[in-house]
Chains A and B, each alone.
Chain A
Protein backbone atom coordinates (compact mmCIF):
# COMPACT_ATOMS: atom_id res chain seq x y z
CA UNK A 1 0.00 0.00 0.00
CA UNK A 2 1.05 3.58 -0.59
CA UNK A 3 1.42 5.35 2.74
CA UNK A 4 0.42 9.00 2.97
CA UNK A 5 2.02 11.10 5.73
CA UNK A 6 0.71 14.55 6.59
CA UNK A 7 2.43 17.26 8.59
CA UNK A 8 1.77 18.88 10.86
CA UNK A 9 -1.03 16.87 12.48
CA UNK A 10 -2.16 19.94 14.42
CA UNK A 11 -1.92 23.55 13.35
CA UNK A 12 -2.98 26.67 15.22
CA UNK A 13 -3.58 29.85 13.27
CA UNK A 14 -5.56 33.06 13.30
CA UNK A 15 -8.14 34.47 10.92
CA UNK A 16 -6.28 36.14 8.08
CA UNK A 17 -3.19 33.95 8.37
CA UNK A 18 -1.81 31.91 5.51
CA UNK A 19 -1.12 28.23 6.28
CA UNK A 20 0.46 25.30 4.46
CA UNK A 21 -0.17 21.59 5.06
CA UNK A 22 2.22 19.01 3.65
CA UNK A 23 1.46 15.49 2.41
CA UNK A 24 4.18 13.00 1.52
CA UNK A 25 3.65 9.72 -0.34
CA UNK A 26 5.75 6.61 0.31
CA UNK A 27 6.38 6.33 -3.43
CA UNK A 28 5.90 8.54 -6.44
CA UNK A 29 2.24 9.13 -7.25
CA UNK A 30 2.72 11.69 -10.02
CA UNK A 31 -0.15 14.17 -9.57
CA UNK A 32 -2.69 11.62 -8.32
CA UNK A 33 -3.38 13.51 -5.10
CA UNK A 34 -6.62 14.91 -3.73
CA UNK A 35 -7.38 17.14 -0.74
CA UNK A 36 -10.54 17.11 1.38
CA UNK A 37 -11.88 19.29 4.17
CA UNK A 38 -13.90 17.74 6.97
CA UNK A 39 -15.85 19.60 9.62
CA UNK A 40 -17.08 17.93 12.83
CA UNK A 41 -20.03 15.62 12.23
CA UNK A 42 -19.87 16.12 8.46
CA UNK A 43 -18.61 14.13 5.52
CA UNK A 44 -15.35 15.09 3.84
CA UNK A 45 -15.68 17.66 1.08
CA UNK A 46 -13.45 17.71 -2.00
CA UNK A 47 -11.25 20.79 -2.29
CA UNK A 48 -8.48 19.94 -4.75
CA UNK A 49 -8.09 17.08 -7.23
CA UNK A 50 -5.17 16.03 -9.39
CA UNK A 51 -2.83 17.86 -7.00
CA UNK A 52 -3.66 21.39 -8.12
CA UNK A 53 -7.13 21.59 -9.70
CA UNK A 54 -9.65 23.52 -7.65
CA UNK A 55 -13.03 21.84 -7.31
CA UNK A 56 -15.94 23.92 -8.55
CA UNK A 57 -17.37 26.12 -5.83
CA UNK A 58 -14.27 26.01 -3.64
CA UNK A 59 -12.88 29.46 -2.78
CA UNK A 60 -9.72 30.51 -4.60
CA UNK A 61 -7.86 31.01 -1.32
CA UNK A 62 -7.34 27.22 -1.40
CA UNK A 63 -4.54 26.00 -3.63
CA UNK A 64 -2.62 22.77 -4.10
CA UNK A 65 0.77 22.01 -5.55
CA UNK A 66 3.33 19.26 -5.89
CA UNK A 67 4.02 16.07 -7.79
CA UNK A 68 5.90 12.86 -7.24
CA UNK A 69 6.03 12.34 -3.47
CA UNK A 70 5.63 15.81 -1.96
CA UNK A 71 2.47 17.90 -2.01
CA UNK A 72 1.14 20.98 -0.28
CA UNK A 73 -2.24 22.51 0.45
CA UNK A 74 -2.13 26.24 1.06
CA UNK A 75 -4.93 28.34 2.47
CA UNK A 76 -4.26 32.03 2.08
CA UNK A 77 -6.01 34.50 4.37
CA UNK A 78 -7.90 32.08 6.63
CA UNK A 79 -11.62 32.60 7.07
CA UNK A 80 -13.48 31.45 10.21
CA UNK A 81 -15.14 28.61 8.29
CA UNK A 82 -11.75 27.16 7.27
CA UNK A 83 -11.01 25.75 10.72
CA UNK A 84 -11.47 22.03 10.12
CA UNK A 85 -9.52 18.84 9.49
CA UNK A 86 -7.81 18.36 6.13
CA UNK A 87 -6.96 15.03 4.51
CA UNK A 88 -4.90 14.12 1.50
CA UNK A 89 -5.69 10.99 -0.54
CA UNK A 90 -3.78 9.20 -3.28
CA UNK A 91 -5.57 7.89 -6.34
CA UNK A 92 -2.48 6.56 -8.13
CA UNK A 93 -2.88 2.96 -7.15
CA UNK A 94 -5.91 0.96 -6.05
CA UNK A 95 -6.65 -1.14 -4.30
CA UNK A 96 -6.40 0.40 -1.91
CA UNK A 97 -6.91 4.12 -2.11
CA UNK A 98 -5.20 5.59 0.97
CA UNK A 99 -5.58 8.75 3.00
CA UNK A 100 -3.26 10.79 5.17
CA UNK A 101 -3.84 10.89 8.93
CA UNK A 102 -5.44 14.31 8.75
CA UNK A 103 -4.33 17.77 9.86
CA UNK A 104 -6.52 19.57 12.35
CA UNK A 105 -6.47 23.32 11.83
CA UNK A 106 -7.48 25.12 14.98
CA UNK A 107 -8.15 28.72 15.84
CA UNK A 108 -5.32 30.23 17.86
Chain B
Protein backbone atom coordinates (compact mmCIF):
# COMPACT_ATOMS: atom_id res chain seq x y z
CA UNK B 1 0.00 0.00 0.00
CA UNK B 2 1.54 3.26 -1.15
CA UNK B 3 2.14 5.91 1.50
CA UNK B 4 3.31 9.47 0.94
CA UNK B 5 5.21 11.69 3.35
CA UNK B 6 6.00 15.36 2.85
CA UNK B 7 9.04 17.00 4.40
CA UNK B 8 10.70 20.39 4.32
CA UNK B 9 11.01 23.70 6.16
CA UNK B 10 7.89 25.00 7.83
CA UNK B 11 8.95 28.63 7.56
CA UNK B 12 10.13 30.48 4.47
CA UNK B 13 11.02 34.16 4.18
CA UNK B 14 9.19 36.38 1.70
CA UNK B 15 10.85 36.39 -1.74
CA UNK B 16 12.54 33.12 -0.86
CA UNK B 17 12.07 29.64 -2.29
CA UNK B 18 9.76 27.03 -0.80
CA UNK B 19 11.23 23.54 -1.11
CA UNK B 20 9.40 20.34 -0.21
CA UNK B 21 10.00 16.66 -0.81
CA UNK B 22 7.52 13.81 -0.95
CA UNK B 23 8.82 10.34 -0.13
CA UNK B 24 6.93 7.46 -1.72
CA UNK B 25 6.79 4.35 0.47
CA UNK B 26 5.31 0.92 -0.15
CA UNK B 27 5.61 1.15 -3.91
CA UNK B 28 7.71 2.43 -6.78
CA UNK B 29 7.54 5.92 -8.19
CA UNK B 30 8.17 4.40 -11.65
CA UNK B 31 4.65 3.04 -12.11
CA UNK B 32 2.19 4.46 -14.67
CA UNK B 33 0.98 7.02 -12.13
CA UNK B 34 1.64 10.74 -12.02
CA UNK B 35 2.67 12.45 -8.77
CA UNK B 36 1.05 15.72 -7.75
CA UNK B 37 1.32 18.64 -5.36
CA UNK B 38 -1.85 20.27 -4.01
CA UNK B 39 -2.07 23.11 -1.51
CA UNK B 40 -4.70 24.49 0.81
CA UNK B 41 -4.48 27.99 2.21
CA UNK B 42 -5.73 28.39 5.79
CA UNK B 43 -9.49 28.08 5.84
CA UNK B 44 -9.63 27.84 2.05
CA UNK B 45 -10.15 25.25 -0.62
CA UNK B 46 -7.79 23.04 -2.57
CA UNK B 47 -5.49 24.24 -5.36
CA UNK B 48 -3.61 21.87 -7.66
CA UNK B 49 -0.02 23.01 -8.19
CA UNK B 50 1.33 20.52 -10.67
CA UNK B 51 2.50 16.97 -11.27
CA UNK B 52 5.34 14.88 -12.57
CA UNK B 53 5.78 11.51 -14.26
CA UNK B 54 8.80 9.34 -13.47
CA UNK B 55 10.20 10.18 -16.91
CA UNK B 56 10.42 13.80 -15.80
CA UNK B 57 7.43 15.04 -17.78
CA UNK B 58 5.51 17.73 -15.93
CA UNK B 59 2.22 19.59 -15.97
CA UNK B 60 1.80 22.83 -14.01
CA UNK B 61 -1.08 25.03 -13.00
CA UNK B 62 -0.83 28.05 -15.33
CA UNK B 63 -1.47 30.34 -12.36
CA UNK B 64 1.79 29.17 -10.73
CA UNK B 65 3.80 27.92 -13.69
CA UNK B 66 6.28 30.80 -13.77
CA UNK B 67 7.35 30.10 -10.18
CA UNK B 68 7.11 26.29 -9.88
CA UNK B 69 9.48 23.44 -10.58
CA UNK B 70 8.64 19.82 -9.79
CA UNK B 71 11.38 17.22 -10.07
CA UNK B 72 11.74 13.49 -9.48
CA UNK B 73 14.53 11.40 -7.96
CA UNK B 74 13.91 7.79 -8.91
CA UNK B 75 16.93 6.56 -6.96
CA UNK B 76 15.37 7.89 -3.75
CA UNK B 77 11.78 7.13 -4.77
CA UNK B 78 10.73 10.71 -4.14
CA UNK B 79 9.64 13.87 -5.90
CA UNK B 80 10.08 17.50 -4.98
CA UNK B 81 8.48 20.92 -5.24
CA UNK B 82 10.18 24.27 -5.54
CA UNK B 83 8.14 27.48 -5.46
CA UNK B 84 10.11 30.65 -6.00
CA UNK B 85 9.50 34.27 -5.00
CA UNK B 86 7.02 33.35 -2.29
CA UNK B 87 4.72 35.80 -0.55
CA UNK B 88 2.31 35.52 2.36
CA UNK B 89 -0.29 34.32 -0.14
CA UNK B 90 1.73 31.11 -0.52
CA UNK B 91 1.21 30.21 3.14
CA UNK B 92 -0.66 26.92 3.04
CA UNK B 93 -0.71 23.26 3.87
CA UNK B 94 1.06 21.49 1.04
CA UNK B 95 0.01 17.95 0.15
CA UNK B 96 1.57 15.45 -2.19
CA UNK B 97 -0.74 12.93 -3.81
CA UNK B 98 -0.66 10.12 -6.32
CA UNK B 99 -2.57 10.88 -9.49
CA UNK B 100 -3.69 7.41 -10.42
CA UNK B 101 -5.91 6.21 -13.22
CA UNK B 102 -7.98 3.35 -14.53
CA UNK B 103 -9.50 2.68 -17.91
CA UNK B 104 -13.17 1.82 -18.19
CA UNK B 105 -14.58 3.10 -21.45
CA UNK B 106 -12.10 5.95 -21.10
CA UNK B 107 -9.17 6.68 -18.80
CA UNK B 108 -10.18 8.34 -15.54
CA UNK B 109 -7.84 9.96 -13.02
CA UNK B 110 -8.10 10.69 -9.31
CA UNK B 111 -5.90 11.55 -6.32
CA UNK B 112 -5.26 8.64 -3.98
CA UNK B 113 -3.51 8.37 -1.60
CA UNK B 114 -2.50 11.73 -0.17
CA UNK B 115 0.30 12.59 2.20
CA UNK B 116 -0.61 13.97 5.61
CA UNK B 117 0.30 17.49 4.52
CA UNK B 118 2.84 19.98 5.81
CA UNK B 119 2.17 23.58 6.80
CA UNK B 120 4.48 26.13 5.21
CA UNK B 121 4.31 29.67 6.54
CA UNK B 122 5.79 32.57 4.59
CA UNK B 123 6.92 35.20 7.05
CA UNK B 124 9.97 37.26 7.93
Contact call B46/A99, Cβ cutoff below 8 A? yes
> A40 vs B9: C-alpha distance in the bound complex, in angstroms?
22
Whether B47 is near chain A, meaning CB under 8 Å from some CB there, is yes
**A49-B110, A91-B108 given as contacts; is B48 within 8 A of A43 (CB)?**
no
Candidates B45, B63, B112; contact of A99 at CB < 8 Å:
B45
> A43 vs B116: C-alpha distance in the bound complex, in angstroms?
5
Taking CB atoms, residues of chain B closer than 8 Å to A32 are 108-109
Max chain A CB contacts within 10 Å: which of B106, B111, B115, B117? B111
Taking CB atoms, residues of chain B closer than 8 Å to A97 are 36, 48
Is chain A's interface secondary structure helix, strand, loop, or mixed overall?
A: loop
Contact call A46/B112, Cβ cutoff below 8 A? yes
**A43-B116, A44-B46 given as contacts; is B59 within 8 A of A91 (CB)?**
no
Interface range for A: 20 to 34
Taking CB atoms, residues of chain A closer than 8 Å to B111 are 34, 36, 44, 46, 89
Taking CB atoms, residues of chain B closer than 8 Å to A45 are 114
Contact call B104/A96, Cβ cutoff below 8 A? no
> A91 vs B111: C-alpha distance in the bound complex, in angstroms?
10
How close is A30's CB to chain B, nearest CB, in angstroms?
A: 7
Interface string of B89-124 (1 = CB under 8 A from A): 000000101000010101011111111110000000
Contact call B46/A43, Cβ cutoff below 8 A? no
Taking CB atoms, residues of chain A closer than 8 Å to B102 are 49-50
> A97 vs B104: C-alpha distance in the bound complex, in angstroms?
20
Interface string of A64-108 (1 = CB under 8 A from B): 000000000000000000000001010100111111111000000
Taking CB atoms, residues of chain B closer than 8 Å to A49 are 102, 108, 110, 112
> A36 vs B95: C-alpha distance in the bound complex, in angstroms?
14
